Structures are given as C-alpha cells and as structure tokens.
Structure 1
Amino acid sequence: MTCPISKLHLFSTVILTFLFTCCSGFVASSQKTPKIDDLDVLSYALILRTDIDNKSLVGTVDIDFLIDMDAKEVVFDCGNLKIAKITGENVVGFEQKNKEVFVALDKRHERENHIQIAYSGSPTNGILFVPENKEVYTVFSTSQWMVCNDSPNDRAKFKIDLFIPSTKQCIASGTLAHTSENGGSTRYSWVQDYESPSYTYGFAIGSFNKSQDTHGKIILNYYGSGYTPEKLEMIFQRTGEMVNFFEEKSGVPYVQDSYSQILIGNHYQEMSGFSVLKKSYGRLVMKDPTETNLISHELAHQWWGNMITCENWNHFWLNEGMATFMSAAFNEHIFGKEKYESDINSYRKVYESIKDGGKDKALVFSDWSNPTREDRNLVYFKGAYVLHLLRMELGEKDFWDGIKFYSQKYFGRSVNTLDFQKAMEESTGRNLHGFFTKWIYERGE
C-alpha cells in the first residue's frame, strides 16, 4: 500500500536531506590517489584540542602501522591540515601535497613502524564548529581533523584524548576510560579496543541535556540541547527494540558496551558507538513516533557499514542500501507490513524518478570519484529497493538466513559485492548470478 502524498513528501524531504548532508564529503576524499595496498594501520592514538570560537584545532597523532620493508614512503590523508612535525625511528622527511602527506622512510628490517605527527588547522568540513552554541562535532571525513588513512578497508584501533572546557560534555568513539581535571579544562580519554575504518571515528562536544537507559548490558545515552530528558527518552524510546532486531537479523551482538545518540546541528552521521542526528529531527519524531527511519538507519550502521564495511566506495551500496533497507524492515517489525510497503514504495519512487531521467546506473560503480546527487540516491534507495526484490526472490526464510550468514561471516571485515553474492548463494543454495547481474552489476529493468 502506498503512503499518503503528504507523508511521502515529508519522508522524502527528511531522507534526502539526510543523504545530502551525510554523503557530500565522499566526493573530495575519493579523488585521492590509491594508497599502497600493503599499508595496514594498527592503531591511532590522538591528543586533540579544539578552539570552538576560532574554529580551529591542534593535534598530535601516534600511528602504528605495517608496510612492506621495501616501501620507501607511506602516504596518509590530511585534508587541509598543516603538518608541523613528523617523527619516528625510520622517518627521513615528509612532503604535503594534494591533501596527502608523503612520509619518506629509511631502510628497515621489519614491517611494523611507529610515527608521531603534530598538526594544526581550521577545517571547513569533516568537523563542524558551532560557536553560537559552543558546540563542535565531526562528520565524514576523519582526515579533515586527524591525519589518517581514509581507505575504508584499512581497519585500526583508536584512542582519543580530548581537552575541553569543564562546563562541556564530550561523547566519542570507544569507551570512556577516564577523565581528569586540569584547572578549567577536562581531559576525556576514550578507547576503542577493536578495529574499524577511520571514517567511523568521531566525537561531539557541547552542553547537552541527557537521558540514560539500559538494554541488557548496553548503556543507551540520549543527548540534546533544547530537549528535556523526558523528551529525549520519548524520541529514542525504541532504541532497545532496534538493537534486538539488528542483533537477531545479523546473528551478531552489538559490539560496544554503550550506544549514544546526539541531537545536534544539521547533519546525520554514524560513528563507532554513537550517532549524530539533526537537532530538529527530534521534533519530527515527537510529532509522529513512526518516523524513526533515521534513528534505525544510523543504528543499523553499527553492523552494516561500521563493522561490515565496503572495501572501497565503488561498493558503497553495501553500507547504505543495507542500512536503508534495515530501517524499513524494522518498521515492518514494529508497525506492520503497511509501514514497510510505504517505505519501500518511497525508495522505489526515488529510484524510478532517476531511471526516468536517464541517470540510472549499476549499484557497483566503476568510479566514485565525483558522485552526483542521483548517484547518492541510487546507493541508498535503489540499493534498499533491490534488497527488497532479493527478499521477494528468495522468500522470507532463505533471505533472512542469508543475511545472517553474510553478517556473521564478514563481521569485522571489509567486503565487496561479490562477497555478498557468494554468501547469499552459499547460504541458500541458489544461483543468484542472473539477479545480481540484472539488478546490481547492470542497471536493472
């Protein structure tokens, strides 16, 4: 059943705004030259100070990494940050160009290396300073505020120490290990002891009201200025049910001991262990409690995206199409079949409008270096719609058994579309070459 026009328009407006604010950062980052395939970052340890009023930052990052012993340099992404100094036993110099830093390495006898990079900057994207509200928060991409490897298939552990005014609160990726006071400043130390891609790292700083709940062993935190704790609890009341649903469908428990959601600014972005959602979005949910697609979408990324990650952006639909589909599937679970069909119909209409305009493409992109608005719509909405079609093709049991098999097999790993296809085929015993060729590798009908 289709949804009323006004509701469809409202949904499309919200989700398309979400799409624009989340994905615009991918344009710049993906224009980079490919990194050395042998580079494997093991961990980042960051010390960061932000100046909200002056929209600037100063940081020092320690990077442990593996690289071939014969490699004469290692390349990291650095946006428009200004590198002041790079030190390390094997470092002989560095050069910054085209939003990358090329670190020259001396001869060595092992693959493991350690370097420390000191830098500063006044980024205009990737991190959003809101001086009027005394807030700052991160969105894609991490290299705008920390020197790192942006490649989504390079997973590493992460530690961040943030120095902020004692009157503010801080939420970041990982687990809060400890805090310490120093005059009017507080040092927050967050540690993520499992590996994930650098684009999943982030933080938010501000003065927030807070509501807290527990779901089994998971602490659920809800933050936002302009909302009372009672309203925050109302907005995010279904979070525990979402965790249950995604754990059941994936066959994998939520990986951290807490999950935080923050209503802040004008963006939507998933990060390890927390998400930021547009501040005004909370009012939409309060007006219509069934409009939780973006809450469930961001939470779904804690499985599909953050932990099961496309190996490069050409397979981006595996992140976003899956999360968009899962938000509709959750709606079906809670609100019934009609709500699911309403969501799928919305996705189909977006896809068909692109196709009617002659801008349809295969879901596996040959190049993601300069995606259009239509390209971004395709990975989200065509991706979700095609997963719905796959569900119809396989039937309930085979489809969901396949999703669980795929999720368990590749949790904590990077994947491409062929990995997904083979997992679904192995689980179901079906040859899906024709379906994937038609709908994913080619343009579909």
Structure 2
Amino acid sequence: MHRSITLGLFASTMAVSALAAEPRGFDVQHYATTLDLDIAAAQLRGETLVRFNATAPLSQLVLDSGELVIDAATHAGEPLRFQQADGKLTVDLAQPLAAGEHASVQLRYHGKPRFGLEFAPARNEVYTVFSTDQWMPSINAPDERATLLLALRLPQGLRTAAVGDALPSRQLPDGRIEHRWQLRTPMPGYVYGFAAAPYRHVQQPHGTGMLHYYALDRSEAELSQLFAATGEMLDFFAERAGLAYQGDYRQALVERTIGQEMAGLSLMSEAYGKQVLADASQTGLIAHEAAHQWWGNRVTCAGWEHFWLNEGFANFMTAAWLQHSQGEAAYQEMVQGWEQRLRALREKGADRPLQYPDWNKPSVDDRAVVYKKGAYVLHRLRLELGEEVFWRGLRQYTQANDGKSVVTADFQQAMEAAAGRSLQAFFAAWVYGVGGELG
C-alpha cells in the first residue's frame, strides 16, 4: 500500500511492547455489513453486526467509527446505550461478559465520508480508500483479524470487486441490486474494501483460481496487456514466501488513488494504468500491491510501530521481482534510490530507527524511513547473509507467521535461526538504531 498521503488518517499510537497492541478485552470474530450507497449524493447508510468474544471481563465494546453517525445500537432487538467521541464508538453491553463468553452488537449508521470512501458521480463509481472505519464501525488496529460478510446495495448496471469470494447477488424490491461478498479467512479490517462502477471485466485462469481485472477507461485488450505479468508475479512471491497464493486475485483501476492492497484485491489509478500501457516496464506498483498479499495481509505487523514489516518488505520484494523480470540493473536502480534517500535523511538529521515508538502522524521523511530505509535494510541483510540463507530465512519467517501478527523481534529471530548465529549487531545498527555504514 502506498500510504504516503493517507496513512496518517488511520495510523494509531501504540506503546512498544512484546505484543505491540494494547489489550482490548475482546476479540472480534466476524463482521456482517450491509451498505446502501448513494453515489450521486456521496453518502451511505449502513448496518453492521459485530460478533466478538470477551478475552477479559467486559462491559463495553469500543470500536473505531471515524466520522460516521451512529443511529442505533442493539442486541437481540433491544436498544443499547452508546456514545461517540474522537472517532470512537463505545457501546454499553446488555450485561457484562466473563472472559470466554461471546456476544454480538447490531449497529445502524449513516455518513457522508470526507475520506475513506471515494465517490465519483461522473463515472458512476464508488470505492474505498484506506480508512475502513469511515464506512463501517470496526477495529483499525492491524493485529485484529476477523471474517467479513459484505453486501453492497447499488443501482443496476454496476459491477463490483470486493474482498473475499463473490456470492450470488439479488434484486431488491426497488430494482437495485445487492452484491454480496464473503471473506472467509480472518483478515485485519484495514484491508477490507471494494470498488463498484460499470466496469469492463477480464478474467483469466491462474493455478486453482482466477485473475480478475476491472476498469472503466481501458478496453478488455488493454486490461489484459497492462496486467499481463500478474500471474508470474504471484508465482514468484509464492516461491519466495514458501506459501501458494490462495483464491482469486482482483485488480481494479479507479478514478484516483495512490494504490492500496486489500485481501485479494488491489486498487490502482486509471492514470497508472495508462502509464503501464505506455511503458511495460513500469509494473512496480502492481508488484508492490501483489507482494502485500503475503507481507502485510497474511503476515501483518502487530502495531503501526512495526509497519516496516509491511511496507519495507513490499518495497524490497518489488525490487526482487524487477531483478527477476527485468535484470540486475533494475534491482540496483531501486537500491541506489533507497540509499540516496537514506543518505539525505541522515544529512538533515531525519533518520530514525525502523521500529517506531510513536508512529501516529508520520511526516514524508518518516514514511521514507519505513518504505525506503526498510527496503534498503533488507537488501543489506541479504548481502550480510548471502542468497541461500537470506531467502531460506525469509521463507521460514513467512511460513511460521502465516495468518499472524508480528513484531520486529519475530523477524530477527527467524533470520538468526536461518543464519545459525546472532544478528544482534546488525539489527542494533540498522533496525533499532540509526547506524550502519552506507555503501
């Protein structure tokens, strides 16, 4: 995900700890969300059922709700007291829960999002942009994983792409269509999302699944051309991760976005699609978002202070893909760019450790540390360990943490196990500090 503009909208401060996340007292198991989307008016009405387990004695459910207006909270049809403040929704449960007990809360709400959900009436298009809590009350923190049942109520003539598997749609009494999607693998809420418009759609078989491409401004032939390398990318990342890609993979070009990975879905801009058609070598963003399907989605940082485990990895794996597909010069060009940016950070005193204690409203320089220094450090670790040990360690790290939330120490331990020696000096200089001699 290229969050260089919007990350600060949803990144939250968490104290660095062994677990990275602050205890909540509950664990969300499942969301079921229905959205009525009015593209012309740029507004929504929604209902979300939240199913959760208490992990400690619990009397309140606290969710992120952005700028949504909550109209009602109920349990088994009975109203619950709730309050909203500072983007948080606090619901008083019907009765306190003991650890291990489970419950559900039904929420009804509306909103006219300023961000998080983008409406493009001229294109009859709507799509998500990062901040899930702006269209459904949920948990923003990356360590919280849950399944999702999503229903999108839209006018006829639109096609949707969303996270999970497509379920049969149905026509509503008013003539609109309810598009239904089910995400069966628990995923962090920040990788939920969708896009809808009268898209052209191309699908191609890949392995046991299908590749899907969507756009308004591109022909079917152009879609096939600009996403031609997708299957090979997924195979390359799967081999490096030691984990096969699971299910279908969807990519859509929307009116404007800096690019976002979601669970089995990536969004890029129409302008970027035009760029790739003009120069087939400009596939870096496609690769970056595809790499996130492993490093970011399946293996997710436990807190934003370990965000380099998502973004530094995706940047590095993009370069590894370019090395594989375009040759050593393409890889070295990216490495040199990272090194130059890190040198500039150091010259202005803006270099920081990769593990942040206070990742909240990152500056452009802060983001450069996570994205570019993070990738550069992985390159230096590759040189330190050599090809066989480095890639074996990366595979073992990815396999061991599939479906889990990780902290930086998890990666260090995996690489030390592969190397058969301590890497503390390397991590102290490059990851936890601002040392490390540039080439």
TM range (shorter): over 0.9
* Matched letter for residue 134 of structure 1: N
Higher helix share: 1
Partner in structure 2 of residue 87 of structure 1: 74
Are the equivalent residues in 2 in contact too, given 1:36–1:74 (CA < 8 A)?
no
Q: Which runs of 5+ in 2 are unaligned?
A: 16-20
Residue deviations 1:257-278 (CA, integer Å, cap 9, x gap): 2111111122111111111001
Match of 1:377 among 365, 368, 372: 368
- Alpha-carbon distance in structure 1 between the residues aligned to 2:410 and 2:401: 9
State the 1:212 CA deviation: 1.6
Q: 2:9 aligns with which of 25, 29, 34?
A: 25
Structure 1 counterpart SS, 2:180: strand
Matched, 1:313 2:304: yes
Instruction: Say if 2:26 and 2:58, in contact at 8 Å, map to a contact too.
Output: no
For residues 338-417 of structure 1, the aligned pairs below 5 Å read 338-417=329-408
Q: What secondary structure, in the 3-state scheme, does the structure 2 residue paired with 1:95 have?
A: strand
Cα distance between partner residues in 2 of 1:205 and 1:72: 38
State yes or no: 1:231 paired with 2:219: no
Is 1:60–1:117's contact at 8 Å kept on the other side of the alignment?
Answer: yes
CA–CA distance in structure 2, aligned partners of residues 279 and 412 of structure 1:
32
Q: Secondary structure at the match of 2:150?
A: strand
Give the direction of change, closer, same or farther, for the CA distance of 1:161–1:310 in structure 2 (3 Å limit). same
**After superposition, what is the alpha-carbon deviation per residue over 1:233-278, rounded to whole angstroms, capped at 9, x for unaligned?**
11000000001101100011112x2111111122111111111001
Instruction: Indicate conservation of the 8 Å contact 1:64/1:114, yes or no.
Output: yes
Residue 299 of structure 2 aligns with an amino acid whose one-letter code is I
1:40 aligns with 2:27: yes
- Residue 113 of structure 1: aligned partner: 103
Q: Which amino acid aligns with 1:166?
A: Q
Q: 2:170 aligns with which of 180, 203, 206?
A: 180
Q: Supply the AA of the counterpart residue of 1:359.
A: A
TM-score where L is the length of structure 1: 0.92
TM-superposed CA distance for 1:24, in Å, is 4.0
Structure 2 residue 107 is matched with structure 1 residue 101:
no
Q: Write the distance in 2 (CA, Å) between the matches of 1:220 and 1:346.
A: 32
1:96 maps to a residue whose letter is Q
AA paired with 1:215? H
Distance apart, 1:343 and its partner CA = 1.3
1:259 touches 1:273 (CA, 8 Å); kept in 2?
Answer: yes
- Superposition deviation, residue 23 in structure 1: 2.5
Q: Which whole-Å CA distance do the structure 1 matches of 2:296 and 2:209 have between them? A: 20
8 Å contact from structure 1 (residues 31, 370) kept in 2: no
- Assess if the C-alpha contact under 8 Å between 2:73 and 2:107 holds in 1: yes
The one of 246, 253, 257 aligned to 1:263 = 253
Question: Cα distance, 1:25 vs. partner?
Answer: 2.6
Structure 2: how far apart are the matches of 1:21 and 1:294?
Answer: 15
RMSD: 1.8
Contact 2:63 2:139 in 1 (8 A): yes
Structure 1 unmatched runs, 5+: 1-14
Deviations 1:97-136 (A, max 9, x none): 1110111122345521111011100111111111121111
Q: Is the 8 A contact 1:170 1:203 kept in 2?
A: yes
Partner of 2:432: 441
CA–CA distance in structure 1, aligned partners of residues 87 and 255 of structure 2 = 26
Q: Counterpart of 1:5?
A: none
- SS for the counterpart of 1:107 is strand
Q: Within 1, Cα distance between the matches of 2:365 and 2:326?
A: 30
Count of equivalent residues: 426
Q: Deviations over 1:56-94 (max 9, x none)?
A: 100000011112452221210000100011111597411
Residues of 1 paired with 2:435 and 2:117: CA distance? Answer: 38
Indicate the residue corresponding to 1:78 in structure 2. 65
CA contact (8 A) 2:13 2:358 kept: no
Using the TM superposition, give the Cα deviation of residue 186 of structure 1 relative to its aligned residue in structure 2, in angstroms: 1.1
| 1:393 match: secondary structure | helix
How many angstroms does 1:404 deviate by?
Answer: 0.2
Contact in 2 for aligned 1:36/1:75 (Cα 8 Å): no
- TM-aligned CA deviation for residue 20 of structure 1: 2.3
* 1:198 matches 2:189: yes
CA distance in 2, matches of 1:31, 1:340: 34
TM-score w.r.t. the length of structure 2 is 0.94
| Aligned CA distance change for structure 1 residues 442 and 334 (closer, same or farther; 3 Å) | same
**Cα distance, 1:31–1:107 mapped onto 2, change above 3 Å:** closer
Q: Which amino acid aligns with 1:20?
A: S
Counterpart Cα distance in 1 of 2:110 and 2:190: 19
Which residue does the alignment assign to 1:304? 295
Q: Tell me the amino acid that sits aligned with residue 65 of structure 1.
A: F
Q: Which moved more, 1:89-98 or 1:432-441?
A: 89-98
Residue identity matched to 1:137? Y
The aligned residue for residue 12 of structure 1 is none
Is it true that 1:136 corresponds to 2:114 in the alignment?
no
* Closer, same or farther: CA 24–228 of 1 in aligned 2, 3 Å: farther
Residues 372-428 of structure 1, C-alpha deviations (whole Å, 9 max, x = no match)? 111111100100011000000000000000000000000100000001101111122
Give the aligned residue type for 1:40. D
How far the C-alpha of 1:287 sits from its partner, in A, is: 1.8
Report the 3-state secondary structure (helix = DSSP H, G, I; strand = E; otherwise coil) of the residue aligned with 1:20: coil
1:31-70 matched pairs, under 5 angstroms = 36-68=23-55, 70=57
| Contact 2:14/2:357 (8 A) holds in 1 | no
- Residues 1:147 and 2:134 aligned together: no
* In structure 2, distance between residues paired with 1:31 and 1:71: 21
Q: Is the Cα contact below 8 Å between 1:158 and 1:192 reproduced in 2?
A: yes
